[in-house]
A and B are shown apart, each in its own frame.
Chain A
Amino acid sequence: GAVVSQHPSWVICKSGTSVKIECRSLDFQATTMFWYRQFPKQSLMLMATSNEGSKATYEQGVEKDKFLINHASLTLSTLTVTSAHPEDSSFYICSASKDRDSPLHFGNGTRLTVT
């Protein structure tokens, strides 16, 4: 069964509103989770590393004020897309692993459509 659960699986929102995506590790505690974005027919692009109890680390070119990440517990990280615009429409995927030597497990992704 799935060890990383992502919710919602899809969401449609109006331009200017904010959307929150949840990522939960079900079978293990994860001090670190990763958030990716994927546009059609492209590979996954790492957006940020979510660290439990501290600030997220963002990849170059990713706006930290637009993509708010909160990792308040060892099993939950959230990504909030603030003031969403149509160009933010994408497939957002989270991942986590039990430790550095273990494989990453991915959520099933969230399809965001901004109208």
Chain B
Amino acid sequence: DAKTTQPNSMESNEEEPVHLPCNHSTISGTDYIHWYRQLPSQGPEYVIHGLTSNVNNRMASLAIAEDRKSSTLILHRATLRDAAVYYCILRDTINDYKLSFGAGTTVTVRA
């Protein structure tokens, strides 16, 4: 499995942007970059995913480096409801398309 590396934790103030980095230096050409988040006692929630180009949706933006060895999840204006564990995961859509979770980044939002 291609692995990802994320900071253990990150703090942000409400209404400010949050940039969550993820390193994936061993990414292969068929790996999609997925982001999920998990609130306590709930199943993970899909946030965004991409292959090569930057992606935007109503929840967040995903910026992917040109060499694809890193990416950044951007929450444009953090709210208290965005406090969660954020997981950056690579999904190989050809050979083995299961998702394996790392430790993730715990995001704390200060009011």
Contact = CB atoms under 8 A, between A and B. Distances in A.
Interface in A81-115: 91, 93, 95, 100-101, 103-109, 111
Interface residues of A, number: 23
Contact of A108 (B42, B87, B93, B98): B42
Contacts of B38: 44
B contact residues, range: 20 to 34
Contacts of A103: 34, 46, 49
Nearest to A97: B97
B7 to A, nearest CB: 15
Interface stretch (B10-18, B64-72, B73-81, B101-109): B101-109
B43 A95 contact: yes
A108 B100 CA distance: 18
Interface string A36-78: 1000000111100100000000000000000000000000000
A93 B45 CA distance: 12
Contact of B101 (A6, A43, A108): A43
Contacts of A105: 46
A83 B94 CA distance: 36
B99 interface: yes
B41 A91 contact: yes
Contacts of A49: 98
Contacts of B45: 106
Interface of B: 32, 34, 36, 38, 41-46, 49, 85, 87, 91, 93-94, 97-104
11 contacts: A4-B43, A32-B97, A44-B38, A44-B44, A91-B41, A95-B44, A101-B93, A105-B46, A107-B43, A109-B41, A111-B41
